[in-house]
């Protein structure tokens, strides 16, 4: 007698029929991107989301392209503090809390707030330098999506743009 599963088979194995990627209508996706982009420039939406903007004068925050070349975490941290985002960085650092419920047992013990998003055109070292700052995400303009701009479906994420990223976004006209 030949056994095809010596030692027993897997009780509930992964199935190839499972749909992991969910498709979304293109117009709907573009509308979500446009809405999320617009919300990053709205002071009310950004503060409602929980970001601290005490020292920030105006939104959107646009910085020189030199920020893309920062190599160390300390210089990135100092740059954010110089932009008036010190309170925001402290909020994110102190906001790490233990999740309530069963999620603690399932590899999601801590709940961490999202901080500023930095949008650039070329990563010349800042991606690695900002990786150790809690809550800070770095994204290329081409890889920008609604989940980065509105995490958890809540629009109004505090976003810092490089000058070339803004120009590239205007030239691309992806969302018009």
* Per-residue pLDDT at 162 exceeds 70: yes
CA proximity to 100, closest of 109, 89, 91: 109
pLDDT for the residue numbered 3: 57
Distance of alpha carbon 120 from alpha carbon 161, whole angstroms: 7
Distance of alpha carbon 171 from alpha carbon 174, whole angstroms: 8
**Angle, helix 86-94 to helix 73-82, in steps of 10 degrees:** 120
**Residue 157: Cβ-neighbour burial (10 angstroms; 0-12, 13-18, 19+):** buried
Give the residue extent of every domain in the chain.
26-172
CATH superfamily assigned to domain 26-172: Ribosomal protein L4/L1 (3.40.1370.10)
pTM: 0.85
pLDDT digits (tens, 9 = 90+) for 40-78: 999 999 999 999 999 999 999 999 999 999 999 999 999
pLDDT for the residue numbered 172: 80
Quick one: average pLDDT of 82-108?
96
Distance of alpha carbon 172 from alpha carbon 138, whole angstroms: 20
pLDDT digits (tens, 9 = 90+) for 9-41: 888 888 888 888 889 999 999 999 999 999 999
């Amino acid at each position: 007698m030949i056994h095809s599963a010596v030692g027993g088979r897997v009780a509930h194995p992964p199935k190839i029929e499972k749909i992991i990627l969910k498709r979304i209508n293109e117009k709907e996706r573009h509308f979500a991107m446009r809405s999320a982009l617009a919300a990053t420039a709205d002071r009310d939406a950004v503060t409602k989301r929980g970001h601290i903007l005490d020292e920030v004068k105006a939104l959107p925050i646009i910085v020189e392209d030199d920020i893309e070349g920062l190599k160390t975490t300390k210089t990135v941290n100092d740059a954010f503090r110089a932009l008036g985002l010190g309170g925001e960085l402290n909020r994110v650092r102190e906001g790490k809390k233990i999740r309530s419920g069963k999620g603690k047992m399932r590899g999601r013990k801590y709940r961490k707030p999202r901080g500023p998003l930095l949008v650039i055109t070329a990563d010349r070292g800042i991606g690695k330098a900002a990786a150790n700052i809690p809550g800070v995400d770095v994204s290329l303009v081409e890889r920008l999506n609604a989940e980065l701009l509105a995490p958890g479906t809540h629009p109004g994420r505090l976003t810092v743009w490089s000058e070339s990223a803004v120009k590239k976004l205007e030239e691309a006209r992806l969302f018009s």
